[in-house]
A = this chain, B = another copy of it.
Amino acid sequence: MNIKTILQIAAAVTVLVVPGSLHAKSPVDWVDPLIDTHESRWFYFNSACRPFGLVNLSPDTQTKGSWKSGYLYGDSSIRCFSHIHAWQLSGIPVLPTVGEMNGHQGMDAYQSEFSHDDEVVRPGYHKVHLKTYGVTAELTSTTRVGFHRYRYPTTDDAYVLFDVGAMLGHGPTLTAEVTRVNERELAGMTLMKATNRRKRDTPVFFVARFNQDMTSFGGWREGQVEEVVDSIAGKDVGAFVRFETDATEPVLMKVGVSYTSIEGARKNLDAELDHWDFDRVVEESNECWNERLSRIVVEGGYDEQKTKFYTDLWRSMLGRRIISDADGSYADMTTDERRVLRVPLDDDGQPAFAMHNFDAWWGSHWSLDILWPLVCPDVYSDICNTSVQMYKNGGLIPRGPSGGNYTFVMIGDTAAPAIASAYAKGIRDFDYELALEGLVKNTGPTGGRYYGGYAKKPTPSAYEEYQEKGYVSRANALSGGHGRAVTSLTLYNAYHDWCIAQMAKAIGRDDLHDRFIQGATNYRHVIWPEKQSAWVREGDGSWKSDFKPREMRFEQDGFCETSAAVTTFYVPHDPMGLAELLGGADAAAKKLNEQFEASVEERFHLPGRSHGNALVDYANQDGTGMAHYFNRIGYPWLSQKWVRAVQRETFGGTDPYSGYNGDEDQGQMGALSALLTLGLFQFDGGSGIDPKYDITATVFDKVTLRLSDEYYDGKSVTIIANNQAPENVYIQSAKWNGEPLQTCFLPHADLVQGGVLELELGPEPNKSWGN
């Protein structure tokens, strides 16, 4: 009996006696990549990729834009499979076709119809039938290599198109090239034009290898097929390979990708994928995700809650992509010259960390900075190392790096809370002293804080006013963009000053602590007690006259993608100080509770991007700490109530039309939703000395956090919720390792020793617990 026969029997047996879903699911099985995919950003949808993978291979139904592009659930045609869906980056679109070669006609012509009915989408795997061509395509990947399996009909007219000149996610492609290396290999490059955010043109390289000889190779330029010997290059060019195919034998293709060079791409391919066993890579990818996701094991709860939780967790480990090669080489563009550098090697000669590409840390103090230390401190460390490395290379700690360079997305120095949180949690295998130096430098004339939103050069006026007066006034609003959000900027600066002060204190730099702790109270300059609200100062220090807590215009009214009503509670580091300005804790709680009450019908977010009208806003980062404010001012039962309401109403959706309400923001909203579900949070971002967790009631009966033995002494933390029920959102009492826990906080230092947090839940608040 040969293996093929056994496999046939296996398949038959499987169908006969083991109906598919009679087994308990693993964490990875719960993930549903299709949740809320109806109007993705370019990088939102992911299927064939590894955690933080450089390659993110998936079908695109829309191209030519950063928003409403990539894979959109409601579409019925696939334009291409492309390999990169990252912040400001995209590349290497391919498509298998059959019949007359039509690559030169462009995606509108050659796209293929498909149906969700025979589609399979899982972490690390995507299977879809291209109806137009009768091709069943399967996609998987390693970290840096896309792996394709195409089942064509039997034909001598089977193609793979390489439409490398096409515009994909964020901006036009300037130039591209494809070369036939041999009968089984292509190599090429695409040069992405600079965008408003990524200011330098950025190349990406690939090597594609097939498991059978091509019967011909050709190309096109500007819509016309062109005679090609072995290479085509220039603007609007593409290439194709042709195969004779047999319906019983799939064509396999591996595509190594690199930002350094073609040789880098080839090395990545050879290093990560030295065989042709597609199913093995699917399984390894599945296991790789399962290992990551199993850092948190949840029990109890119903299927939708598990689906959403593990999808949230998966998302938190997706968005911030690796950009360095397997050997640690990476493209640095922080100086005038593009350089290929290599990260330091560890004792085993392996890269000590991987360089990452990511959107700003804006708001991540209420999401990733809290979740990552619990589930992937190793990657958090990598990203801190990325920041330090870029500081070494180019002199700035990045706000949100892309294409090996700085980008000045959003405002403030959002790296400050992130790096301070890593240090505070015990993630210290990066040069934190140098990081602190960089954060301090960011407050100087050439530093990051001098860059307004999307600015191409530092514009000192706003930050200088802040340093002089303690706030940024309307007089120093930068023209255009987020630079106009002066009150938000003041609040961010105050928080970021506090973060630097805390980290400085922790590592013995009292001088820096004393210097920056002054700034921490600057939020007081933009809270108008008479109005119980954050508001805008004029250049002469007076309050801007047309006070309104809502109906803000985007930024120009002084608030960054939010309203005054929401921003009022943006003082992560001094909630009681804020409460005093609002008339005391009782008045502050009453005001915020009324805002929540008024936001129930709209499910705690407004549709679209109308953040300026919100009273509560869980669809954008600035509002995502609101429900936990109560914990910090003596009303923990209101945190318990509203956290659960937000978790259910705002983030509970599990279909393609709900779940994240707009912009998931590369793992941030996923991480936030996961934290709300677990009942763990840190209102101050965990960036202070001795950080602690805000506790609310998890939706599960039991949660087990498997701690990293690389960073923490404890093995695991177990949260047990007794008397769990949908209406039992209130904590009646709690124990930590058997001892009564009277406050609604658990110190990080205790948590990482491991233990059991046992909560008794009930349907009515116990107002005597938690304070």
Q: Which residues of A contact B (CB under 8 A)?
A: 1, 6-7, 9-11, 13-14, 16-25, 29, 32, 34, 38, 73-74, 115-118, 120, 122, 125, 127, 279-280, 282-283, 286, 299-300, 302-305, 601, 654-657, 701, 725-726
Q: Is the CB of B14 within 8 A of A73?
A: no
Taking CB atoms, residues of chain B closer than 8 Å to A38 are 726
Say whether, besides A10-B9, A10-B10, A10-B13, A120 and B302 are in contact (CB < 8 Å).
Answer: no
CB-defined contacts of A305 to chain B, threshold 8 Å: 655
Instruction: Let me know if B655 and A24 touch, CB within 8 A.
Output: no
Assuming the contacts A10-B13, A14-B14, A24-B118, asked whether A303 and B655 have C-beta atoms less than 8 A apart, the reply is: yes
Question: Closest approach, in angstroms, between the C-beta of A64 and any C-beta of chain B?
Answer: 21
22 A-B pairs whose Cβ atoms sit less than 8 Å apart in the complex: A1-B6, A6-B6, A9-B10, A14-B14, A14-B18, A19-B29, A19-B283, A20-B25, A20-B29, A21-B21, A21-B29, A21-B120, A22-B122, A24-B120, A32-B303, A73-B302, A115-B300, A117-B299, A117-B300, A302-B657, A601-B601, A654-B654
Q: Is the CB of B279 within 8 A of A120?
A: no
Report yes or no: B302 in contact with A22, Cβ–Cβ below 8 A: no
Q: Is the CB of B16 within 8 A of A6?
A: no
Given contacts A14-B14, A20-B21, A74-B725, 18 further A-B contacts (CB under 8 A): A7-B17, A16-B283, A17-B283, A19-B125, A20-B23, A20-B29, A21-B21, A21-B120, A21-B122, A24-B117, A24-B120, A34-B302, A34-B303, A74-B726, A115-B299, A115-B701, A601-B601, A657-B726
* Closest Cβ neighbor of A648 among chain B residues: B657
Residues of B close to A115: CB separation below 8 A: 299-300, 701
Which residues of chain B are within 8 angstroms of A25 by Cβ–Cβ distance?
20
CB pair A7 B1 closer than 8 Å:
no
Chain B residues whose C-beta falls within 8 Å of the C-beta of A19 in the assembled complex: 29, 122, 125, 282-283, 286
With a cutoff of 8 Å between Cβ atoms, the chain B residues found around residue A601 in the complex are 601
**Nearest Cβ on chain B to A445's Cβ, whole angstroms:** 51
Q: How far is the CA of A726 from the CA of B725 in the complex (A)?
A: 32
CB neighbours of A6 from chain B (8 A) = 1, 6, 9-10, 13
Beta-carbon contact of A279 and B655 below 8 Å: no
Q: How many copies of the shown chain assemble into the complex?
A: 2
Contacts of A122 in B (CB 8 A): 19, 21-22
CB distance from A284 to the nearest CB of B (A): 10
Chain B residues in 8 Å Cβ range of A11: 18
Q: Which residue on chain B has the smallest CB distance to residue A290?
A: B19
Q: Can you name the residue of chain B whose Cβ is closest to the Cβ of A125? A: B22
Contact of A654 with B125 at beta-carbon distance under 8 Å, contacts A19-B283, A120-B21, A299-B117 already known: no
Cβ distance A139 to chain B, nearest Cβ, rounded Å? 12
Known: A10-B9, A14-B10. A302 touches B655 (CB 8 A): yes
What residues on B are CB-neighbors of A34 within 8 Å?
A: 302-303
Q: Which of A1, A73, A303 has the most CB of B within 10 A?
A: A303
Are A654 and B304 closer than 8 Å at their CB atoms? Answer: yes
Sorted nearest first, the 10 A-B pairs with minimum C-beta distance are A10-B10, A17-B279, A304-B655, A10-B13, A117-B299, A302-B656, A22-B120, A302-B655, A24-B118, A1-B1
Q: How far is the CB of A232 from chain B (nearest CB, A)?
A: 37
Q: Out of B32, B120, B299, which one reaches A23, CB within 8 Å? A: B120
Among A17, A38, A283, A305, which residue has the most Cβ atoms of chain B within 10 A? A17
Given contacts A283-B17, A601-B601, contact A302 B116 (CB under 8 A): yes
Question: A116 to chain B: which residues have CB within 8 Å?
Answer: 300, 302
- CB-CB under 8 A from A726, the residues of chain B are 38, 74, 657
User: Is A13 a contact partner of B20 (Cβ separation < 8 A)?
Assistant: no
Measured CB to CB, the nearest residue on chain B to A25 is: B20
In the complex, what distance in Å separates the CA atom of A38 from the CA atom of B1? 51
CA distance A190 to B352 in the complex (A): 73
A117 neighbours in B (Cβ, 8 Å): 24, 299-300
Instruction: Give the residues in chain B near A656, CB-CB below 8 Å.
Output: 302
A73 to B, closest residue via Cβ: B302
User: What is the chain B residue whose CB lies nearest that of A601?
Assistant: B601
Q: How far is the CA of A127 from the CA of B21 in the complex (A)?
A: 12
Shortest CB distance A395–B (Å): 47
Complex Cα spacing A293 to B9, Å: 28
**CB-nearest residue of chain B to A15:** B283
| Complex Cα–Cα for A1 and B3 (A) | 12
In the complex, A6→B6 CA distance in Å? Answer: 7
Cα(A300)–Cα(B117), bound, Å: 6
CB-nearest residue of chain B to A306:
B117
Judging by beta carbons under 8 Å apart, are B20 and A279 in contact? no
Instruction: Using CB atoms, name the residue of chain B closest to A17.
Output: B279
With both beta carbons as reference points, the residue of chain B lying nearest to A129 in the complex is identified as B24
Residues of B within 8 A of A21 (CB): 20-21, 29, 120, 122
- In the assembled complex, which residues on chain B have CB atoms less than 8 Å from the CB atom of A10? 6, 9-10, 13-14
Distance from A48 Cβ to chain B, minimum over Cβ atoms (Å): 13
